[in-house]
Amino acid sequence: MAVPTEGPGTVLREASPDAVLLDTDGVITDTARVHAAAWKRVFDDFLRRRARERGEEFRPFDPGADYLLHVDGRPRADGVRAFLASRGIDLPEEAAANAETTGETGEAGESGGAGDAGEVSVAALADAKDAAFLAALDRDGVTAFPSTVALVRRLRRDGIGVAAVSASRNCARVLAAAGVDALFDVRVDGVDAARLDLAGKPAPDLFLEAARRLGARPGRTAVVEDSLAGVEAGRRGGFALVVGVDRAGQAAALAERGADVVVSDLAELEPAPEVGPR
């Protein structure tokens, strides 16, 4: 399938894919910002205590740059490792002792942290972030982007298979909370990744599994992603069309990672109505 060369409004029509795979957080639902806030809460708590204990300057987690570069689109533990590596911090995968103090049960404390900075682990930070995200989800709810819902409904009317894809184990809960779980033919998420031993983005495994379940070849399938890791996964998987959704001012970076076209909202993928003779 040739990549269309015209504007975004014709890209899907010209590509004529058999299936479209959509990332969940930031593409289907307005939850990327909730994830970023949860990461900031947990990382800042850890970094603040670490800086205090070591007599160092506290450098907070940036919910813009740090989230987009190191965390967005990745499985939780991978996101923890990538961000900590960017700060030159190496933590054990699991705490050596006393899971109650390190937060390995997944329950965040009042501050959303994960125990003393000297005792914390990758797993403890990942669990604390999960608890902070779920607390925000239960408290504030979640909404689906109207333009995405409209596009998915049009694709289904046209007989094109659609899948919701996410590295998160909470994908089903998020889609149900937004009231859009029934819109998708297939869902592939972090639960499937653990069960099937699928590598996280930027590896293409999640998307390839979604295409397989829809009975579509990658060369006849489009991927829609808002994360740098997700766009890279789409390109690595040999998918016919990779659409980047820029909601955070990173259009150039999305294109550099392999997006064939970048839009600010999926409404731009809707073809303009035909104009009849006057």
Please list the active-site residues: 23, 25
**What is the C-alpha to C-alpha distance for residues 88 and 256, in angstroms, rounded to an integer?**
26
Positive or negative, the CA dihedral 188, 189, 192, 193 is positive
Exposure on the CB side of residue 103, measured as CA atoms within 13 A: 30
Do 158 and 20 meet the contact criterion of CB atoms below 8 Å apart? no
Residue ranges of E strands in the chain = 19-23, 161-165, 186-188, 221-225, 241-245, 261-263
**What is the C-alpha to C-alpha distance for residues 74 and 212, in angstroms, rounded to an integer?**
21
The tokens describing 110, both together, are: 């009042």
Range 3-12 burial, b when 16+ CB lie within 10 A, else e: ebeeebebbb
Whole-angstrom CA distances from 126 to 81, 194, 209 are 10, 15, 25
> Beta-carbon neighbour count of residue 28 at 10 Å?
29
